[in-house]
Chains A and B, each alone.
Chain A
Amino acid sequence: MNLIDLLLAPLGYDFFVRALVASALVGVACAVVGSFVVLKGMSFIGDAVSHAAFPGIVIAYLLGLPIILGGAVAAIGTALGIGGLTRRSGLRADSIIGVLFAGMFALGVALFSSIPNYVGDLFAFLFGDVLGISVSDMIALSVLVAALLLVIRALWKELLFATFDPLGAGAAGLPVRRLDNLLLILIAVTIVISLQAVGIVLVVAMITTPAATAQLLVKRFSQMIGVAALIGVTAAVAGLYLSFALDLASGASIVLFETSLFLIVLLVTSVRGRRTA
């Protein structure tokens, strides 16, 4: 079998094409939101929010409600809770994140363990199962990713200003706290719509790694988002083919591809940096 066949053969399967589109959409959304996350030093919040979605997902499952909705409520609630509690408690943000992250995930695990029979659907949310995505899920995903990108496009200047220089932005009259909260909501939404593809445990990598890789390569913020998105899509497509060819978990394959790319870029840029220095 030559390379062309290797690339074309999986496209004969509808489920693979759906998974390819879904992964690419998730790759772009995570990378774009991730650029702000990385620059604000909020990667740990991403991890916390994805784990916090778990009890929401289990509760929605138990109540027979849409699973994504349950995840979204828990994720957004936790994201805003982290912001609010940090401002009020006087504790450091990472302490609050550590507490909420573990507490919410424990709640999810406890509820999950109370379900008597094996629940494959919920396992998919833990580790991702993009090959199982349905047509209607894919349409919903497309709409949500489009909405997400539109919001970021509309408030691009303001989000950038508030991220880069909250003092200057606040003095100029920008609603810095509301923009912070909006960013938290965007992170939560991104995570929830990505869960089916990569799962709770790995979604933080989809958010952090492409943006961190891009930061090593560019000098302008506008380029960073573009490069991060490109890496996100490339990794999604390449990772999915790898998972198909080697029969590996799809989410893990995508993340491993991103991680390898990051390490290569880190190696190349640090060698190059040493030479010029």
Chain B
Amino acid sequence: MNHFIVPSDIKGRTPSPHPGGRAVTISNITAGYGERAAISDITLELAAGSLTAIFGPNGGGKSTLLRCIAGLMRPWSGAIEVLNARVGVHAARVAYVPQADEVDWSFPIAVDEVVAMGRTQRIGPLGRMGVADRAAVAEALGRVDMADLASRQIGELSGGQRRRVFIARALAADPEIYLLDEPVTGVDPVTQEKIMNVLDAEAARGRTVVATTHDLACAAQRFNEVVGLAGRVMVHGPAQLVLNREVLEKTYSAHLIPLADGSVVLLDDPHHPLGSDAGRE
């Protein structure tokens, strides 16, 4: 369960102007698993060079939306364009970082082998790692301070180091679009800072970054745009303009507890009894 104290006066970072066109255009998509729709009628535009956090309660469809943009799930209806083409056409220019619990950490693979996977599409089938590929892997490892641990088996790493390996793999691909599922969940503040600095730098040079997050404070302070998702898009815009108590109440409904000083506590676990009690008050 995650508890966050959300100050009544949220200070967001200044949105950076993004000169390019649209990186992702989502039109009226509905998607889900089996019979149940996880996200309904989503329409969203993400500008090239934007640094966007998708936040919302568990089960709100954050990962589903990200998977649709990554071309890993086909929406039941609606359309997605990525880099001005149907989703999947420019897949080689997209890097996806899965949630930490979707990775088999006992897999006998070393840090540099994982990062080298980022080069797969640049090398192409039949090809082998060349000098430029090795340089890209080394540079990516250096940018996340993992060069010293290049030969470690991934299971021997701490949670924060594990996340940095996958960020490095994405960097090594040198993509136009980064799609990251919970990149800063469960990592220490220092690692979170390092990861966000890297993502910030990528956005600053025109790359589009989209990350799901449970960490509302991080979303507000380190991303220039936020998307509140609770099955539908509840809000989309620059954090300091759109993140207010009303929006949070709408997005998290049952998971917010108002405090006397005007701030609210967010209980982001729909299965926890406290969360549902708070919703009834």
Contacts and interface: CB of A to CB of B under 8 A. Distances in A.
Interface of A: 39, 154-155, 157-158, 160-161, 164-165, 167-174, 214-215, 218-224
Contact of B98 (A157, A160, A165, A173): A165
Nearest to B179: A171
Contact of A173 (B67, B91, B107): B91
Contact of B107 (A164, A168, A170, A171): A164
Interface in B92-137: 92, 94-98, 102-104, 107-110, 113-114, 116-117, 120-121, 123, 125-126
Given A155-B125, A165-B103, A221-B108, A171 B91 contact: yes
A55 B281 CA distance: 67
A171 B73 CA distance: 10
Contacts of B70: 167, 170-171
21 contacts: A154-B126, A157-B116, A160-B113, A161-B117, A161-B120, A169-B117, A170-B70, A171-B70, A171-B91, A171-B96, A172-B96, A172-B120, A172-B121, A173-B121, A214-B108, A218-B108, A219-B151, A219-B152, A220-B110, A220-B113, A222-B113
Contacts of A223: 108
A167 B110 contact: no
A173 B103 CA distance: 19
A46 B169 CA distance: 32
Given A165-B117, A220-B113, A172 B151 contact: no
Given A165-B98, A165-B103, A167-B96, A224 B117 contact: no
B88 interface: yes
B72 interface: yes
Nearest to B177: A171
Give the interface centre of A160, A172, A222 by most chain B CB atoms within 10 Å.
A172
Nearest to B175: A172
- Secondary structure call for the B interface: mixed
Contact of A174 (B102, B103, B107, B120): B120
Contacts of B117: 157, 160-161, 164-165, 168-169
Contacts of A172: 91-92, 94-96, 120-121, 173
B210 to A, nearest CB: 12
Contacts of A161: 117, 120
B15 interface: no
Contacts of B120: 157-158, 161, 169, 172, 174
B276 interface: no
B153 interface: yes
A97 to B, nearest CB: 20
A145 B30 CA distance: 47
Contacts of A214: 108
B206 interface: no
B71 interface: yes
Contacts of B126: 154-155
Given A160-B117, A161-B117, A167 B98 contact: yes
A173 B109 contact: no
Contacts of A164: 104, 107, 109, 114, 117
A154 B98 CA distance: 26
A171 B156 CA distance: 26
Give the interface centre of B107, B113, B117, B151 by most chain A CB atoms within 10 Å.
B117
Contacts of A218: 108
10 A-B pairs with least C-beta separation = A173-B91, A171-B96, A219-B153, A171-B70, A220-B110, A167-B98, A161-B117, A221-B109, A173-B92, A224-B108
Contacts of A169: 117, 120
A171 B88 CA distance: 8
